[in-house]
Amino acid sequence: MSELTRGVRLGVDVGQVRIGVSRSDPHGILATPLVTLAREQKPRPGAVPSDLTELTALVAEHEAVEVVVGLPVNLAGKLGPAAEQVKAYAQLLADVISPVPVTLTDERMSTVVASRRLAERGVRGRRQRAVVDQAAAVEILQSWLDAQRRRT
């Protein structure tokens, strides 16, 4: 693979209740927390869920060249029900933000790692729940960026 295309990338941690979002710098070196979105639980049939609308706005606002979505692969390397739900969500996102590509990446343990790092910094309880999704999105995007740099 050649040099990583210049531009901001968004990292997305899709949860049942919340969606954590991170962003990279245009050089693809560092991922930072951006926002946590509430996941719309019961969107109207045929309507785009509000969280997808908000993600679309973030893609436009940050002029993202790619969106990296964490795929929750289980420890055995298999795709379970959660992974299938994330794949379906990523496909909806890809349809809405086309032509911006959506890439799935293995996010095994990202929330565990994010929770541990927050706890090490003294962020616990309710304060941790408020930002753990963003921190997981940072872990997802940073791991992906690091992997892309190792390939060059």
**pLDDT band with cut points at 50, 70 and 90 for residue 76:** confident
Q: How far apart are CA 118 and CA 27, in angstroms?
A: 26
Residue 1 forms part of a structural domain: no
| Residue 19 structural domain | 9-151
Distance of CA 148 to the CA centre of its chain: 16
pLDDT in the model for residue 3 = 60
Domain count, the chain: 1
pLDDT in the model for residue 132 = 81
Q: How far apart are CA 122 and CA 139, in angstroms?
A: 18
On the question of pLDDT at 85 being above 90, the answer is yes
Q: What is the pLDDT of residues 106-134, one digit of tens each?
A: 887 666 677 777 778 777 777 666 678 88
Strand ranges of the sheet holding 31-38, from the earlier edge strand across to the other edge: 31-38, 18-24, 9-14, 66-71, 102-106
Identify the CATH number of the domain in which residue 140 sits. 3.30.420.140
Residue 69 forms part of a structural domain: yes
Mean local confidence (pLDDT), 42-61:
93
Predicted model pTM: 0.87
